[in-house]
Amino acid sequence: MMPEECQICGKKTKKLYSCRRCGRKVCKKCFHDSEKLCEICYNRGEQGKNELNIPESAKPMSVSPKDIKK
């Protein structure tokens, strides 16, 4: 097996990891295993977002009946 190049740092390695967000093939140093994200996606704050990337402002709010004006 020929060493492949990390798409972020350029390091040659036999094992690359695939980012679940962007698909980059990266070395262990450039991969956040707990989030399955490359360094770039992780640093963009994409960890912990839902898969549809719905912004917090667009998520449903809970409203009680007394909050509804008649």
pLDDT for 29-59, tens place per residue? 999 999 999 999 999 875 555 455 555 555 5
In a domain, 10, yes or no: yes
In a domain, 35, yes or no: yes
In a domain, 58, yes or no: no
Residue 5 phi, psi dihedral angles, 5° rounding: -100, 135
Query: What pLDDT sits at residue 66?
Result: 72
In a domain, 60, yes or no: no
Q: How many domains does the chain fold into?
A: 1
Output 68 or 59, whichever has higher pLDDT.
68
Query: What pLDDT sits at residue 37?
Result: 95
Q: Which domain holds residue 30?
A: 1-49
Output 60 or 26, whichever has higher pLDDT.
26
In a domain, 63, yes or no: no
Q: Is 32 exposed, middle or buried (0-12, 13-18, 19+ CB in 10 A)?
A: middle
In a domain, 56, yes or no: no
In a domain, 57, yes or no: no
In a domain, 5, yes or no: yes
Query: What pLDDT sits at residue 57?
Result: 59
